[in-house]
Structure 1
Amino acid sequence: MGAQNNEPLDIAVIAPSRFPIREPYAGGLEVVVAKEVRALRERGHRVTLFAAEGSDGHEPRFEFTTMASAAGFGDSFYPPGGYESDAAEFHRLMDHLAVSQFDVILNHSLSHVPLLRAVDVGAEIITTLHCPQLSAMQEAFDQQGSAAGRVLAVSRSVLKTWRLPRGAEVIPNGVDTRIWRPQPHLQAAESQSPRGAAEPPRAVWSGRIVPEKAPHLAVDAALRAGLTLDLAGRIGDNIYMREVLAPRLRRAGNAVRVHGALGCDSLVPLVAGASVALVTPCWEEPFGLTAVEALACGTPVVALARGGIREILSGQPGVVLVEPGRDPASGLAAAIPTALTRDRAATARAAAATFSHETRIDRVEARLRGLLVGAAS
């Protein structure tokens, strides 16, 4: 094994099982896993990705069955029998890992099975917590104690919702500033119509279209503030889309453009060319990757101060945080004029310095080598 010096490591990465790790990414978790795998491979490590069918660069012999097209599937629930099938596939993967030769296993899944089966695997398992407490995973931590492996978390906000046998280190997510960066020519183009008349500012919202992300609040806030809105994302809850968001979109007419799920080639220009990004969580947001992506482009952010958003973005240049209150859309709308005055260049510089993906990978890599050297000594 390569832990004694700077030799490459043999690393297994367990991805979440619901969606493929490929563009357009289903959500922030899939983005984080894809970037981590790519960065570790660029550094020379031998990385085996265990992920859902259709993923890029994964090990197809042990792929997970995606359920995105199954009737009764949503981001927060499985179709009938789906939970049991998913667990069975994780057990099959853990059977394989128990007889494999990896230096370390990075677990980004939302399954309890890798925690229960950590004792069967010779390699160190490090689980990253990307969301508030999930009951099955918490029960596994309670049952296995320190035998469940090491733990990282993307924010203190996430970490405080879990009971962990030996705590965890917080390593925030980062953005690839080679991709998410200012594009001033887009901003200049957006500021003028073909006839030379000034266009109204344009807002952008991106993310999963689910109740906890609340894009309907972005629609309400943009219209109240007199802005047009670009809304980009994958529908993760059909009932929410049909009953909450769709009626607002019909009333908004041409003031809101809906783009669906976009790959980086289309999403980055959309975000970088906007006057402001709206971030509207109605839950204790674990991190808020879409906000950081916007800031890295120099696009100011107006965000509801929930969970990791408050923790990660407080005091960050280019950010206006809004207390949720009883009428969050009004609060967001009232904050937009302030955001429009923020220095875009300073916003991008500060975001790149604070949320560099390379810095995150430096910390992850150091953690891996430190654990392995310690285990060998």
Structure 2
Amino acid sequence: MRIAQVAPLYESVPPIAYGATERVVSYLTEALVAAGHDVTLFATGDSRTQAKRVATCERGLWRDASVWDTQCHHVRQLETVAQMADQFDIVHFHGEPMHLPVSRRLPCRHVTTMHGLLLPPDHGPLYAMFSDAPLVSISDDQRTPLPSANWQATIHHGMPPDVLPFNAAGGDYLVFLGRMMPSKRPDLAIEIARRAGLPLKMAAKVHPGEQAYFRDEIEPLLARHGDVVEYLGEVGGEARYAMLANARALLFPVDWPEPFGMVLIEAMSCGTPVIAFRRGAVPEVVDDGVSGLIVDDVNQAVSAVERIGRLDRAGCRRAFERRFTADRMANDYLTVYRRLLEET
């Protein structure tokens, strides 16, 4: 099958550190190539892939100080995809929905994975107009605000089983990984660790739009609780993997409807159980009592820290292998691709 994967241009594929969508696109692209398909990846020039790569910008836009208007680069990418579309059987979009008017007019099939939160005032009218656009959700919960859209499947993310090292023992600290933003509640992660009496390592990216939040809300907590919390900034590569694998547990105290939570399965992959708030897709992703403990508030999270050592880290890893490998994800997408091609 001739498949095009169209990634957002904010980060490279795979990303240097933070960038869940770009990481998923990388895992899917490489799994499709390994399965023998002819794959073209539309991504940044610093992306690394076994597929054919088509770049419309030199590097990840969020890491290029000369870039101000990222939309310009995505429009150029979309035009490049359209010019090449007759070379593909299907084009798979992963970015923001500006491609919808063009995708309707492509000479091949297309599908879009929705990676973010769906907002009824915004996405409702959009997908009412584009009711024919085939969509894939990354969790069933993600669909809740837009149940009538043209959903083809729910496909949970996956990753190769050998990316993170399995650690059967774990360590003596908690970890918070991701993005330093209000809905991820890094402040609650600090409170949970402080009350549980365990050190907390925080590795989180601060985006430009969230610098005021970090300065006003989080930095004072870091200063006040420096004996408990170690803030490491954005961490990538082997250092990130080792920090996750050597932790006792991952804290995931989100207070928004998280569409998936890539870091959850990264933790499971290395045997590190998660303590996660019951929000969004968390109950779909976490096997409560196996790969982690699902809680409803800070008090329950503190209690969960005391109990998390009773979970079998090998069982946590097995839960990952059963449900969240890249090969499983790729096979699920191939099923959608084939069904759409049969409709032509």
TM-score by length of 1: 0.81
Give the conservation status (yes or no) of the 8 Å contact 1:154–1:287.
yes
Unaligned runs of 5+ in 1: 1-8, 74-78, 191-200
Corresponding position of 1:203: 174
1:88 maps to which of 69, 75, 98: 75
Letter in 1 for 2:259: P
Alignment RMSD: 2.5
1:141 maps to which of 121, 124, 127: 127
Measure how far apart 1:181 and its partner are: 4.3
Corresponding position of 2:243: 270
Letter in 2 for 1:220: E
Residues 212 and 156 from structure 1, CA distance in 2 versus in 1: closer, same or farther, beyond 3 angstroms? same
1:36 maps to which of 1, 25, 28: 28
Query: What is the aligned length?
Result: 338
Measure how far apart 1:138 and its partner are: 4.5
Give the conservation status (yes or no) of the 8 Å contact 1:158–1:308.
yes
Letter in 2 for 1:151: L
1:288 maps to which of 242, 253, 261: 261
2:139 maps to which of 155, 164, 168: 155
Counterpart of 1:217 in 2: which secondary structure?
helix
Measure how far apart 1:92 and its partner are: 2.5
Residues 251 and 355 from structure 1, CA distance in 2 versus in 1: closer, same or farther, beyond 3 angstroms? same
1:335 maps to which of 304, 320, 331: 304
Deviations 1:68-113 (A, max 9, x none): 2589x9xxxxx6xx37535633552354245x31111111112x22
Give the conservation status (yes or no) of the 8 Å contact 2:153–2:336.
no
Letter in 1 for 2:34: E
Letter in 2 for 1:369: R
Letter in 1 for 2:333: V
Measure how far apart 1:180 and its partner are: 2.8
Measure how far apart 1:202 and its partner are: 0.7
Residues 69 and 357 from structure 1, CA distance in 2 versus in 1: closer, same or farther, beyond 3 angstroms? closer
Matched, 1:366 2:335: yes
Q: How does 1:1-377 map to 2 (within 5 A)?
A: 9-57=1-49, 59-63=53-57, 66-68=60-62, 82=69, 85=72, 88-98=75-85, 100-110=86-96, 112-134=97-119, 138-146=124-132, 148=133, 150-162=134-146, 164-184=148-168, 187=170, 190=171, 201-236=172-207, 237-315=210-288, 317-324=290-297, 328=298, 330-372=299-341, 374-375=342-343
Aligned partners of 1:215 and 1:268: how far apart in 2? 20
Unaligned runs of 5+ in 2: none
Measure how far apart 1:52 and its partner are: 3.5
Aligned partners of 1:370 and 1:87: how far apart in 2? 28
Deviations 1:235-286 (A, max 9, x none): 1221221111111111121422222222331122111111111112121011
Measure how far apart 1:227 and its partner are: 0.3
Aligned partners of 1:311 and 1:210: how far apart in 2? 23
TM-score by length of 2: 0.89
Residues 69 and 318 from structure 1, CA distance in 2 versus in 1: closer, same or farther, beyond 3 angstroms? closer
Counterpart of 1:285 in 2: which secondary structure?
coil
Counterpart of 2:130 in 1: which secondary structure?
helix
